[in-house]
Amino acid sequence: MLLAGPPGIGKSTLMLQAAAKLAEKGPFLYASGEESLRQVSSRAKRLGISSEQLYLVSESSLSKIIAAMEQVKPWAMVLDSIQTVTHPQLASSPGSVGQVRECAAELVRAAKAKDTVVFLLGHVTKDGSLAGPKVLEHLVDTVLYFDTDNHDVLRVLRAQKNRFGPTDELGLFEMGEAGLKEVKDATAFFAAELGRAAAPGRAVSVALEGSRPVLVEVQSLVVPTRYPLPRRMSTGLDLNRVLVLLAAMERHIGLRLEDRDCFVSLAGGLRLKDPALDLAACMAVAGSWRDKSVPSDLALLGEVSLLGEVARVPQLELRLREAAKAGFKRALGPARAAKDLPRTLGLSVTGVADLREAAEAAFGVE
């Protein structure tokens, strides 16, 4: 398994905390090429980790690490990081593409021969372009990315590739004094971030990340264009999707955007691809354009089609319950799905068939 992320994000911390759990099952080897034994063990102490079965080795020579594997016979191990080890037969410097590739290949061979689970930690640059971990993706069964999403405290663990399991689950963690702590209630976390007062250009929806509903705020800013061509920018949502939504609004609710710059973003630095956010994105844009606010107790859920219709979304009920839990009193959802909903959701749902109905319900009849 490859765990990649920018330096300082918390890969070593995450792995050390995971190692403590994994060592309950049998010997676990933590091989660090970055930190000394004292550094790793003092961090482990600070995190309250102590285990008879957790072995540390501070070593940057691959052959010595494999020797340690032979000695400890771990059922699982970590190499922190792949960029710091050197292969005995290569002269190039650690971290070079050749070293990274050969060392990983050698470890994968050793892992297979000894039936050991190996976690490779790898640094990537912010844009994820660094050669190191990328060249390893085909070698491993699972590629995990650990990142902040531009958030101060929140750390997000995503699976990019998973040969033997799903890739749509998401781990949310907070870095604190005592290391990483799982954020169990993602909505409470984001709800704390959400300004409660209504403002033009803001709309709230509930996304699904894997099986977890997450409350998200879509923000938009629509301003007169000062360039020959209007600018469109999106952070957190797919720009192509946003362009389609803008076109749908021009056509179906007569929103004139040809001389407006449109900026759309997800608050909290999240990056999501959930079509259920379409309706919130549309109403955020329409709200900013018209300088009207979506009421702060209203959540918006629905995919928007090219025809301007509000279409069904998976797990609508689960999402609505999450919105109710966060204190939302009302929601707009796809008309076809809304009539089949149970009455016990804890908030009232208005079904809307298309963008026009949604805009009327969100901003009041004009």
Question: Between 12 and 83, whose beta carbon lies closer to Mg ion?
Answer: 12
- CA 323 to chain centroid, in Å, comes to 20
Of 1, 2, 3, 12, the residue at the interface with Mg ion (CB under 5 A) is 12
Nearest CA to 32 among 84, 68, 69? Answer: 84
Partner touching 9 among ligand TYD, Mg ion, none, CB below 5 to 8 Å by kind: ligand TYD
Nearest CA to 276 among 243, 300, 253? Answer: 300
The residue ranges that bind ligand TYD (CB under 6 A) are 5, 7-13, 43, 47, 175, 177-179
Q: Is 84 in a helix, a strand, or coil? A: helix
Query: Which secondary-structure segment (H or E) carries 358?
Result: helix 355-363
Shortest gap between Cβ of 140 and ligand TYD (angstroms)? 18
Amino acid 290 reads: R
Look at the alpha carbons of 123, 139, 84, 46 in this order and tell me if their dihedral is positive or negative: positive
Binding segment toward Mg ion, per CB under 5 A, in 9-17, 54-62, 299-307, 338-346: 9-17
Shortest gap between Cβ of 68 and ligand TYD (angstroms)? 20
Structure tokens at 63: 């052959």
Question: Between 51 and 296, whose beta carbon lies closer to ligand TYD?
Answer: 51
Partner touching 223 among ligand TYD, Mg ion, none, CB below 5 to 8 Å by kind: none
Q: Is residue 32 a contact point for Mg ion (CB under 5 A)?
A: no
Nearest CA to 288 among 264, 267, 266, 309? Answer: 264
Q: How far is CA 353 from CA 202, 245, 253, 304, in A?
A: 21, 16, 13, 10
Partner touching 7 among ligand TYD, Mg ion, none, CB below 5 to 8 Å by kind: ligand TYD
Question: Between 175 and 237, whose beta carbon lies closer to Mg ion?
Answer: 175
Partner touching 10 among Mg ion, ligand TYD, none, CB below 5 to 8 Å by kind: ligand TYD
Q: Between 62-72 and 97-114, two packed helices, what is the crossing angle to 10 degrees?
A: 20
Shortest gap between Cβ of 144 and ligand TYD (angstroms)? 12
* Helices (runs of H) and strands (runs of E) counted in the chain: 11, 18
Number of residues that bind Mg ion (CB under 5 A): 1
Question: Between 13 and 41, whose beta carbon lies closer to ligand TYD?
Answer: 13
Rounded CA gap, 279 and 301, in Å? Answer: 6
* Under 8 Å between Cβ of 342 and 228: no
Strand-pair partners of 54? 28
Shortest gap between Cβ of 12 and ligand TYD (angstroms)? 3
Q: Is residue 205 a contact point for Mg ion (CB under 5 A)?
A: no
Shortest gap between Cβ of 242 and Mg ion (angstroms)? 36
Question: Between 77 and 338, whose beta carbon lies closer to Mg ion?
Answer: 77
Shortest gap between Cβ of 123 and ligand TYD (angstroms)? 7
Site residues for Mg ion per CB under 5 A: 12
